[in-house]
């Protein structure tokens, strides 16, 4: 049996459709369709895949949604998803640059206010240059806590993603990890055995298509 994960043998490139009507002004922030679902690229058993990420965009920014299922215990402030974005999709570098962003989203900001999600921007380890700090007050969030999991949605305006320019650069690097205090960790492709948190060449390519 190979010790190299199957996903490592592929250069993943995924089409991401434009949705002009997001973010929505009332109710649920994004409500992305099934067609926006990022397929499971880890090639693991379906039962191990308990979180789903959906992605869409328009000229004004990027929409990300997460649904976590299979939980038997309440959602706490320990749950989070981390999102890496490279607005230039540079696959020839192994250290992040100013176009590489890392955000951490939580469906529950604190136990006293379980309906309030939050977001922070983190620096990327060993980066050649850090991305400019985003104005987090401009990032819109929505969450819904359920008995078996939760939904979390985020809208990142184009102004808060350095280099985001779909007209000139219609591809971006993208990677995620989901952490749950009950279910464990879920990775987009390969896991922490590879330096996915700091090497943009290991991230998948998202093709921003109209």
The CA-CA-CA angle for residues 86, 67, 174, to 5°, reads 10
Write down the pLDDT at residue 49.
84
**The predicted structure's pLDDT at residue 169:** 97
Quote the DSSP letter at residue 90: -
* 60 touches 158 (CB < 8 A): yes
| Rounded (5°) CA angle 49-51-54 | 120
The predicted pLDDT at position 4 comes to: 55
Token reading at 44 = 């693991």
Give the mean pLDDT per block of 10 residues along the chain (210 residues).
52 91 96 95 70 98 97 95 97 95 96 83 97 97 96 98 97 97 92 87 95
Segment 90-103, tens digit of pLDDT: 999 999 999 999 99
Calculate ∠ Cα 151-154-159, nearest 5°.
175
Report the predicted TM-score, pTM, of the whole model to 2 decimal places: 0.92
Which residues, in sequence order, are bridge partners of residue 142?
153
Strands (E), the chain: 13-17, 51-58, 61-68, 80-86, 100-106, 118-122, 140-146, 149-157, 171-180, 184-187, 204-209
Rounded Cα gap, residues 203 and 210, in angstroms: 22
150 vs 33, 63, 69, CA distance in Å?
17, 17, 7
């Amino acid at each position: 049996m190979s010790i190299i994960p199957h996903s490592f043998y592929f250069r993943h490139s995924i089409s991401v459709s434009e949705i002009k009507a997001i973010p929505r002004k009332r109710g649920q922030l994004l409500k992305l369709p099934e067609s926006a679902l990022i397929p499971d690229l880890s090639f693991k058993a379906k039962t191990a895949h308990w979180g789903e990420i959906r992605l869409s965009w328009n000229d004004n920014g990027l929409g990300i949604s997460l649904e976590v299922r299979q939980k038997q215990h309440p959602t706490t402030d320990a749950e989070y998803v981390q999102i890496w974005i490279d607005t230039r999709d540079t696959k020839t570098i192994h250290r992040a640059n100013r176009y590489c962003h890392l955000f951490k989203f939580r469906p529950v900001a604190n136990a006293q206010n379980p309906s309030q999600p939050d977001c922070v921007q983190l620096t990327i380890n060993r980066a050649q240059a850090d991305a400019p700090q985003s104005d987090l007050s401009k990032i819109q969030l929505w969450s819904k806590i359920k008995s078996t999991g939760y939904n979390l949605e985020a809208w990142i305006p184009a102004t808060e993603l350095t280099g985001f320019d779909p007209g000139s650069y219609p591809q971006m690097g993208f990677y995620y990890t989901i952490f749950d205090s009950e279910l464990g960790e879920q990775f987009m492709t390969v896991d922490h055995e590879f330096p996915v948190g700091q090497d943009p060449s290991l991230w998948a390519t998202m093709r921003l298509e109209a």
